Amino acid sequence: MHTLFDPAHLTATPWPKRWLWLGFFALALAGVFSIVLVMARTPQLSMLKELFSVALVVHVNLLVLVWFLALAGMCWAYLANRSGKAWPYFQGGAFWTTAAGAALMALSPLDPHWIVIKSNYIPVLDNPLFLGGLALLFAGMVVALLPLLVAQPPEAKSLRGMFACGIYILGGIVAVALVCFVLTAMRMPPGLPRDYYFELSFWAGGHGLQFAYTQLSMLAWLALLAALAFPPNERAKRWLGMILSLNGFAALLLIFGFSFYDVGGPGFMEFFTKHMIYFAGVAPILMAFYVARMLWLIRVPPHAYRALWMCLLMSLVLFAAGGVVGLLIQGQNVTIPAHYHGSTVSVTIALMGLAYLLLPHFGYASVAGSRLAFWQPVLYGAGQLLHVVGLAVSGGYGVLRKDPGSYGEGITVAKAMMGVMGLGGLLAVIGGVMFVVVVYKSVSTASPSGRG
């Protein structure tokens, strides 16, 4: 199998594997919280409503911050190994700090102070456990990025070099997001109400992180394509490198928001929203066209890697659904989580495929040809599509986001469509459980020597 990750550098230190495990546990735990969300949000079930807000905070942060950033951490650890220096203190420090932060955030509902602030990008539980965990997570990201600053950037001559450059740019994008968080904090006007304070704190950096997630998704798409015996030719390689760089360049423009506007002043938030509307989709859409064409040419995937092929396909389908629903957003209704789920679940399925691809390199059994792994993205993806459609249509009837008591105007239709959302959500939960089972099978059937 051709892999864009050089296997020797993946396993030169235990850190890439540990990051993958951190991401895996975050994803699995977040799945449990999504059951609470679905039960509270589905009118036909209408249970556990009092837990909705807290479950939402943990669900979003474990997924959008920990799961995605842990997989980014895996890529950077690989890059650090590839640079020839293992940077053991940085790698260990980054991993354990991030893991401690993630654990605190997951445990934060145990603190009886359940003041939930449903800020965009990073909703928070306003208690010391959660905020301490979030601070540690950001600190872990800073330490993870430091070796990239010192190491020489990779050369893009070979295919693997181009891929490594894409990972390097991913680091640059997360650095831009972190700078946005810091600049916002430094220039924050005093005396803001607590909820607006958090909303403003995470606005610019949160937008930056969206570019990191699409970069991560594009890297996963490329790794999966290459494994399906479809490495690009020289010309395509150049174009793909340019698309990955374009995304990094677009993210860099975010910094201008701080030159033109005062934090919290007129036009500040709008700048970042407009920047996202104009730029966030460009690179991933170009890349998605390339991947779709390659998938078309592959037609019948090699049996041993059919799960990778299905992950790619479902990731593209969800990406398209998220994009279309994004165009329909008007107001603060559930069309917004419909768009989020299309887009972020597209990244998630691509990363699930990446996990299937990398498990054998980490010494576990190959599962990419198994029937269970093939059907897993189908169930997860189809469930999420229903979830997205249910939310999007209900949004059209004015059902409010993040509010389990809202049924909108056309109550009967909206309730029925929120039922569809719940059904899709439960199917996706089953797809999530299947992912855990597939990974468990891979780990449990590996030869003892391979477990490392």
CB of 38 or CB of 177, closer to ligand HEM: 38
Q: Which of 10, 37, 80, 225 binds ligand HEM (CB under 6 A)?
A: 37
Cα within 13 Å of Cα(154), Cβ side? 26
Q: Does 402 bind ligand HEM (CB under 6 A)?
A: yes
- Distance from the first to the final alpha carbon of the chain: 21
3-state secondary structure of 116: strand
Q: Does 104 bind ligand HEM (CB under 6 A)?
A: no
Q: Does 394 bind ligand HEM (CB under 6 A)?
A: no
CA distance 271 to 180: 13
Q: State how far the alpha carbon of 128 is from the alpha carbons of 105, 131, 132, 196, 283, in Å.
A: 10, 5, 6, 19, 38
Q: Does 207 bind ligand HEM (CB under 6 A)?
A: no
CA distance 243 to 233: 15
User: Residue 139 CB, nearest distance to ligand HEM (Å)?
Assistant: 22
Q: Does 388 bind ligand HEM (CB under 6 A)?
A: no
Positive or negative torsion for Cα 168, 173, 177, 182: positive
Segment near ligand HEM (CB under 6 A), from 157-165, 177-185, 295-303, 340-348?
Answer: 340-348
Q: Does 351 bind ligand HEM (CB under 6 A)?
A: no
23 is written with which tokens? 């991401």
User: Which amino acid does the sequence have at 66?
Assistant: V
DSSP 8-state symbol, 257? H
User: Residue 394 CB, nearest distance to ligand HEM (Å)?
Assistant: 9
Block residue for tokens 């474990």? 62
Q: Does 396 bind ligand HEM (CB under 6 A)?
A: no
Q: Does 251 bind ligand HEM (CB under 6 A)?
A: no
Query: Which residues, 413 to 442, sit near ligand HEM by CB under 6 A?
Result: 425, 428-429, 432
Q: Which of 164, 336, 169 is nearest to 250 (CA)?
A: 169
Buried b (16+ CB within 10 A) or exposed e, 254-278: beebbeebebbeeebbebbeebbee
User: Which amino acid does the sequence have at 406?
Assistant: S
CB of 162 or CB of 334, closer to ligand HEM: 334
Q: Which of 15, 17, 34, 319 binds ligand HEM (CB under 6 A)?
A: 34
User: Residue 16 CB, nearest distance to ligand HEM (Å)?
Assistant: 21
What are the helix (H) ranges across 187-267?
A: 194-227, 234-252, 256-260
Q: Does 337 bind ligand HEM (CB under 6 A)?
A: yes
248 is written with which tokens? 């990094």
CB of 19 or CB of 90, closer to ligand HEM: 19
CB of 143 or CB of 321, closer to ligand HEM: 321
CB of 361 or CB of 402, closer to ligand HEM: 402
Q: Which of 341, 368, 373, 396 binds ligand HEM (CB under 6 A)?
A: 341
CB of 241 or CB of 431, closer to ligand HEM: 431
CA distance 100 to 96: 6
Task: State CA 433 to chain mean position distance.
Answer: 18
Segment near ligand HEM (CB under 6 A), from 198-206, 241-249, 269-277, 344-352?
Answer: 344-352
**Is residue 281 within 8 Å of residue 327, measured between CB atoms?**
no
User: Which amino acid does the sequence have at 168?
Assistant: Y
Q: Which of 46, 27, 2 is nearest to 308 (CA)?
A: 2
CB of 17 or CB of 59, closer to ligand HEM: 59
Segment near ligand HEM (CB under 6 A), from 91-99, 133-141, 341-349, 439-447?
Answer: 341-349
Q: Does 326 bind ligand HEM (CB under 6 A)?
A: no
3-state secondary structure of 449: helix
Positive or negative torsion for Cα 325, 326, 329, 335: positive
Cα within 13 Å of Cα(286), Cβ side? 15
Query: Which residues, 39 to 78, sit near ligand HEM by CB under 6 A?
Result: 41, 56, 59-60, 63-64
Tell me, residue by residue from 261 to 300, as one string, x for binding to ligand HEM by CB under 6 A and - for no binding. Answer: ----------------------------------------
Q: Which of 108, 348, 366, 442 binds ligand HEM (CB under 6 A)?
A: 348
User: Residue 281 CB, nearest distance to ligand HEM (Å)?
Assistant: 17
CB of 348 or CB of 376, closer to ligand HEM: 348
Q: Binding residues for ligand HEM, per CB under 6 A?
A: 31, 34, 37-38, 41, 56, 59-60, 63-64, 334, 336-337, 340-341, 344-345, 348, 401-402, 425, 428-429, 432
